Amino acid sequence: MARKSGSHSEITRPRIRDAALRLFARHGFAAVSMRQIAAEVGVQAGAIYLYFEDKQALLFELMDTHMDDLLAAWEAVVLPEDALGRLRAFTRFHIAYHVERPDDVFIAYMELRSLTPGNFAVIETKRRAYERILEDLLEAGRADGVIDVEDVRITTMALIAMLTGVNTWYREGGRLARERLERIYWGMVERMITGARVPA
């Protein structure tokens, strides 16, 4: 049977995407079979190939659209003029985005090694572009004299790791909690890059 009521391309495709996203995030790319994904959607394994070339293409689409969404979301952020304000915006943006889409984020840095070399190159470029945003903000702050770090590159990596780490332990618990989370992290970041004691 085909074309059941309400089963069009626009419905099944995203359902496959969502199922793959959740399963890959939970069990890892290599540990999830096409049949498991299909079962989650309520379809046979062969149907997946109507929408994705193969398993690798499915993973790549998840990671690629995630990186595009992430970069686009940052572009949409309205930034203050001052360097420190921009770093504050980045910190809060990064945490908010990572808390909102934990599965995408998790896959994006966990399954890099599951990509074919060509696909890896594409994702890696976008990943570096994102890191570059923070790195440039730090450089700008340094030029303005408002921040003071020993090594911009190392600070960038340290901050990214620290902020992304939220993903490993924090789970959404209401809007207020996330607001506090962002505030606390910005407090730590600000100290790290300015050395200034921030008022309680």
Binding residues vs its own copies (CB under 8 A): 26-28, 30-31, 110, 113-114, 148-151, 154-155, 157-162, 164-166, 168-169, 181, 184-185, 187-188, 191-192, 195-198, 200
Nearer to its own copies, 7 or 36 (CB): 36
| Chain position carrying tokens 């340094």 | 142
| Residue 91 contacts which entry, its own copies, DNA, none (Cβ below 5-8 A, type-dependent) | none
Nearer to DNA, 24 or 93 (CB): 24
Residue from 14, 28, 46, 165 touching DNA (CB under 7 A): that is: 46
| Residue 133 contacts which entry, DNA, its own copies, none (Cβ below 5-8 A, type-dependent) | none
Does 168 interact with DNA (rule: CB under 7 A)? no
Does 3 interact with DNA (rule: CB under 7 A)? yes
CA distance 55 to 62: 11
Positions in the binding site for DNA (CB under 7 A): 1-5, 7-9, 11-12, 32-36, 38, 42-47, 49-50, 54-56
